[in-house]
Structure 1
Amino acid sequence: MDRIELGNTGIVVSRLCFGSLTMTPFQANLTIEEGAYLIQYAYSKGINFLDTAEIYDNYQYIRKALEGIDREDYVLATKCYAYTKEMAEKSLNKALKELNTDYIDIFMLHEQESIHTLRGHMEAIEYFLEAKKMGKIRSIGISTHKVEGVLGAISYDEIEIIHPIVNREGIGIQDGSVNDMLIAIKKAYNKGKGIYSMKPLGGGHLISQLEEAFNFVRNIPYIHSIAIGMQSKEEVDCNTSLIETGKISSELKRVLTSRKRNLVVADYCIGCGNCKSICKHNGIDIIDGKAVPNDNCILCSYCARGCPEFCIKIV
């Protein structure tokens, strides 16, 4: 698999990034051994880049996987919500200890919204800069669901890597269209920022147009790597084939598109009701302050387009 430098960081990654949330109890609920094997299998296929986060609670999977991987060849990205020095130090030490590693390649602030939220996290950023000088972090970045998050990061030289949502329908982008996001990403790319995108299939909602949706992101020249969740060997094989050729075999396509899927609402749903008002099939209700799919749900995924928190997924 081709590798590429993430912006001006000197960090070289595979064009495909292993999104590790899907293996956790929040989604596929793989055992630690199953998850570790899958990470190692992906590495054998050329994927040397993995994305996680403190909130995913899956460091134990990755620690186990690293026992069979060349650590110096492997790139780990994680995220936290720290905004003080104490919180940042705690999150970094937790990652180092639970992953059993001396350094984190990319440490990011999770779900930054704009230049204003970045200002509010400067104490944490300053701590990460000190940790970088000590060799505990190689690069600092942010993840974001907002165009303004990307634009805000451009203003900070300290932020070297940006992890934004990009998919052909703009699912999950909270403050604009996919075109708005692409304009912002291009500006960041031209500033030398490393860009690795997330949600090319819109959290599973674009699985019916698998090749078209993936290739939309694959063909964007200012995205270095694409993070996508993987929870089976078939998904690793599928995504490897897509990143390398833009196509998958008819058998793999049959297996993946025929797999039974469910609409899942994350615990952080705020019960705003946007999904309910969008659904034309009366397939989702608001119960006890949370969206809950019902028997009328046809997995059309239209509801996800109106979710401000990107908490509705098909798994």
Structure 2
Amino acid sequence: MEYRFLGKTGIKVSRLCFGALVIGPLQRNLSVEEGAAVIEEALRLGVNFIDTADLYDTYPYIRRAIERSGIRPVIASKCYAYTREDAKRCLDRALTETGVDTIDLFLMHEQESEHTIRGHWEAFEYYLEQKQAGVIRAVGISTHHIAAVKAAAAIPEMDVIHPIVNKRGLGICDGPVDEMLAAIKEAHDAGKGIYGMKIFGGGNLLGEFEDALRFALGIPWLDAIAVGMQNIDEVRMNVALFEDIEAISRFGGRAAAGPRKALHVDFWCEACGKCVERCQQKALSLKDSKLVIDHDRCVTCGYCSAACPLFALKVY
């Protein structure tokens, strides 16, 4: 397994980061023991970096995987907090539910520009205080926006950026992939740690699996890449491919033919529109009092399901 330092943080991470979203309630909804077993296999094979978020409800999986394996990975989490009080609540929850004393990376979730970063600054100042106290090791943002990457690159206090990037630019909200790559390079050159997400476009690029993976691995400014893995076979395959992309021939058509996730609407949906407001990708709309999904725009993040008061949206 290849390891790199995240920018100037001094934190050494595996190039393959375990994306914990898919095993949790918003997507596969594995039991804690099932999900912990998947994480444990990744840790056993040398993956030392896990990405999660307050929204994902996957802290218990990570805690159980640490208990089962005896391995303490680098943990990155994210939160939507605006205020100091909410920031404290999010951080306390992360520490309590994972059972660790420090969180390696704590990020402001889904930032859009310098304006949203400024709007969350009270929370960010709390994270900076906790970094000074040694409770957080590095701080930063996650984003689907080029503007936010550029803004974070210019802020000295920002250590790490977690941007969306893939060969077709799926899910980038404010421009094409070449502009996102230019922004990522700018941030990298400014000393920021960068780890990418959604390299398969939320499953939309699984039919182009090899090209999508080669594209992401070929981006020199990505210190790590988060990949969602929902079973042990996927863990073993991705570890092998991150170690040597030419090993793809060993897997035949399995890599490209993996199941494509999709967002599904249950019959009890009342078309209240809360999910439409939540979706940054503009993949949801209401038509004739029914929810309509644009699957070409959807990146199957599952965040809309968290906004649904009736739990009528699921990703599988």
TM-score category, normalised to shorter length: 0.7 to 0.9
Find the counterpart in structure 2 of residue 280 from structure 1: none
Contact 1:304–1:313 (Cα < 8 Å) also in 2: no
Structure 1 residue runs without a partner (length 5+): 277-283, 294-300
Q: How far did residue 208 of structure 1 move?
A: 0.9
Find the counterpart in structure 2 of residue 214 from structure 1: 213
Contact 1:115–1:153 (Cα < 8 Å) also in 2: yes
Letter in 1 for 2:28: A
The secondary structure found in structure 2 opposite 1:124 is helix
Contact 1:84–1:123 (Cα < 8 Å) also in 2: yes
Measure, in 2, the Cα distance between the counterparts of 1:60 and 1:304: 28
Measure, in 2, the Cα distance between the counterparts of 1:198 and 1:286: 31
CA offsets per residue over residues 207-247 of structure 1, 9 Å max, x none?
A: 01111101101011111000010001121122112211114
Letter in 2 for 1:304: C
**TM-score (norm: length of structure 1):** 0.86
Give the alignment partner of residue 298 of structure 2, picking from 301, 304, 310.
304
Contact 2:209–2:255 (Cα < 8 Å) also in 1: no
Q: How far did residue 286 of structure 1 move?
A: 4.3
How many correspondences in the alignment?
Answer: 298
Find the counterpart in structure 1 of residue 27 from structure 2: 27
Q: State how 1:156-305 maps to structure 2 within 5 Å.
A: 156-250=155-249, 252-264=251-263, 268-270=275-277, 275=283, 286=287, 288=289, 290-292=291-293, 301-304=295-298
Measure, in 1, the Cα distance between the counterparts of 2:88 and 2:282: 37
* Percent of aligned pairs sharing the same letter: 45
Q: How far did residue 290 of structure 1 move?
A: 3.0
Change (3 A) 1:88 1:37: same
Structure 2 residue runs without a partner (length 5+): 266-273, 306-312
Change (3 A) 1:224 1:287: farther
Change (3 A) 1:51 1:286: farther
Change (3 A) 1:249 1:221: closer
Pair 1:2-2:2 in alignment: yes
Contact 1:269–1:291 (Cα < 8 Å) also in 2: no
Change (3 A) 1:275 1:26: closer
Measure, in 1, the Cα distance between the counterparts of 2:175 and 2:52: 25
Contact 1:204–1:313 (Cα < 8 Å) also in 2: no
Find the counterpart in structure 2 of residue 61 from structure 1: 61
Measure, in 2, the Cα distance between the counterparts of 1:153 and 1:247: 35
Letter in 1 for 2:292: A
Find the counterpart in structure 2 of residue 90 from structure 1: 89
Q: How far did residue 314 of structure 1 move?
A: 7.3
Measure, in 2, the Cα distance between the counterparts of 1:261 and 1:287: 28
Q: How far did residue 302 of structure 1 move?
A: 2.8
Contact 2:203–2:261 (Cα < 8 Å) also in 1: no
Contact 2:54–2:90 (Cα < 8 Å) also in 1: yes
Measure, in 1, the Cα distance between the counterparts of 2:17 and 2:74: 9
RMSD across aligned C-alpha pairs, in angstroms? 2.7
